[in-house]
Amino acid sequence: MSSGGIMEQDGRRAKRRIHGIDRATRWAGILLCWAHAVAMALTAAEAMLRSATNWWAVTWAATAVLLITWALLRAAQKKFLRRAADYEDEQGDPSSPEEPTHYDRAA
């Protein structure tokens, strides 16, 4: 197998990882928004009804956990995107005027 084939496989694997982390980040963000909305609604309901239940504490805790999860996933997502961009920069665009083609380099 040529080194080009290995590079292509690495590129495909990286794209699959990026796609997976994108999906996980999106779902964590969605869950974070809903948990926050529920927490605010339950806090408001508890304040208006002056009930003794503390369900709002559970939803605020879930919001905090989801916020941390989303932040970690977002950081990983950005890391993978930076790596993918660096990989593309290393490959270069053969049609780019700044980058000579392989046969121009040999000459």
Average the pLDDT over 70-95 and give the result. Answer: 79
Q: Give 35-94 as a DSSP string.
A: HHHHHHHHHHHHHHHT-S--HHHHHHHHHHHHHHHHHHHHHHHHHHHHHHHHHHHHH--T
Residue 6 exposure: Cα atoms within 13 Å on the Cβ side: 3
The DSSP letter of residue 95 is: T
What tokens appear for 83 in the block? Answer: 């790596």
- Tell me if residue 99 falls in helix, strand or coil: coil
Residue 35: CB atoms within 10 Å: 20
Handedness of CA 24, 19, 75, 29 (dihedral sign): negative
pLDDT classification of 97: cutoffs 50, 70, 90: low
pLDDT, tens only, 12-54: 776 777 788 888 889 999 999 999 999 888 888 877 787 666 7
In this prediction the pTM is 0.53
Tell me if 80 sits within 8 A of 17, measured CB to CB.
yes
98 three-state secondary structure:
coil
